[in-house]
Amino acid sequence: MTNIHIQIDWPPRPAYPTYEAIPLDQFEAQAERYNQLFNLYERLDDKISSVTFWGIADNHTWLNDRAEQYNDGVGVDAPFVFDTNYQVKPAYWAIMD
């Protein structure tokens, strides 16, 4: 099994101090990465049986701890396709396309 993390930026420098501080272009770049991956998954569909997301929404991710670790205790990440209020992000539509 291969694990792929689609965080906003890694390592997160400079870190975004709050979720609301993450610029829209970062979410759009994340959507493009998701799109590239899922296009690859579709091409390899005879070799891939499933894709697992280790979470649902950005309000609960262990990657926040990693962002803080690299930025003196400040930082958030946003790896999922739903935001902190369970609303779809551009990444969701990139996958569903």
Helix H or strand E encompassing 7: none
Helix residue spans in the chain (DSSP H): 24-43, 63-69, 90-96
pLDDT in tens, 49-95: 999 988 899 999 888 888 888 888 888 989 999 999 999 999 999 99
pTM, entire model:
0.84
User: Which is nearest to 18 in space by CA: 83, 80, 77?
Assistant: 77
